[in-house]
Amino acid sequence: MTDVVPTAALLKLPVTRLGIGMYVSAIENNGRLAVANAGQIRSRQAITKLSNSGIRFVWVDVERSSDGCGLKKQPPVCNSHPRKTSVNPELARGQAKQLLTEAKGLVRKVLSETFEGKAIEVEPFAALADNMIESVMLDSDAMKCISALRSKDAYLLEHSVNVAFLLITFGKYLKLDREMLRQLAIGGILHDIGKIKVDNKILHKPGKLTPEEFEHMKLHQTYAIEIMEQAKGLPQVSKDVCLMHHEKLDGRGYPRGLKGDELTLHGRMSCIVDIYDALTATRCYKEAMSPAAAFKILLSLTPFHLDESLVYEFIRCIGVYPVGSLVQLSDGRVGIVWESKDRDVLHPIVKCFYSLKFKRYTDVTMVDLLKSDLNIDRGVSPSSLDVDPKPFY
């Protein structure tokens, strides 16, 4: 190792704020700066390795970092053909899949520790939130597509991660700052933490809950209050996301019966996102809805339960045919909405794999609706198919 002196070109960052594409010139170890395999961060494993080695701070060379890493200010466009940062879609999906696996692992670990009575440590969630934000900024389509892969046996884990991702996506659409996105994500990951103390028979009951069982289920918010109080350093926004996602504008929600302006913007966002993700997930007692069907239910819950203007903003943010959802094309083929970046909502790229007309699999084909005479007829619910679409994600 060689001692180095930081220059004006270097920026000191905590390891938790590192993102893919940043160029690490030096690490800080026990107050001393040293060069150790300096280079660009190309995977989340590299960030995890630094963290596991006890490294808390690094020095990043802004100029040698990639344009899309979030450190550089974008120069004003001075010609009619600005250069676009290209992202390898398959690489981005691979990174998104790995990130979701890591996220579910962290949630599983914390659920277990919380069940044993241990207090939540905020730092690992902050690092995970930063990585999720980086992934959304890099290629939100990749994260949308991977998060569409759902398992009814892992609902609590996947729902927590998906709510966090949706809050980041929604917050970015509403132009909230990065620190707010970070706090929203932490709250989303932890929003159902109180369910770890709910009776398993009720939590996983394959049918409608009785009034008594529902009252017991509602206790997960009471448990959440206790858990939040023990968590040191947890931002108030994150607590609000956790404790407000079952509140209603008319005051008939729980656990506190908040009403109207007592529900913050981020609290109102969490109500919408939590319901949408629950509706579009397969559960032990129900099949997943299509996004379009879920949007209808969200609108039916306005204005007494959900904020009407925010619901419309959410629908615009997600899109009528979001990436990862299933659609039927005008020739009868069914496919996955694969890519929608820089496109209008009716002309995504669709990965076709099945024919409803002939009830059989077809050759897997990417159909670019901007270059095709075909169009989307309707959204399709996974439960309406006779086949499993998961292998094609």
Instruction: Please state, in angstroms and rounded to a whole number, the distance separating the CA atoms of residues 135 and 168.
Output: 10
Separation between Cα atoms, residue 266 and residue 186, nearest integer Å: 12
Asked whether the predicted pLDDT for residue 351 surpasses 80, the reply is: yes
Is a pLDDT exceeding 90 seen at residue 116?
no
Q: Are 126 and 239 in contact (CB under 8 A)?
A: no
* pLDDT above 90 (res 259): yes
Q: Are 235 and 186 in contact (CB under 8 A)?
A: yes
Per-residue pLDDT tens over the stretch 37-73: 567 787 777 888 888 888 888 888 777 787 777 676 5
Is the confidence at residue 216, as pLDDT, over 70? Answer: yes
Tell me the whole-structure pTM to 2 decimals: 0.71
Find the range with the poorest average confidence among 38-42, 45-49, 173-177, 252-256.
38-42
Residue whose token pair is 């709250």: 187
Whether 38 contacts 90, CB under 8 Å: no
**Looking at residue 76, what is its pLDDT?**
47
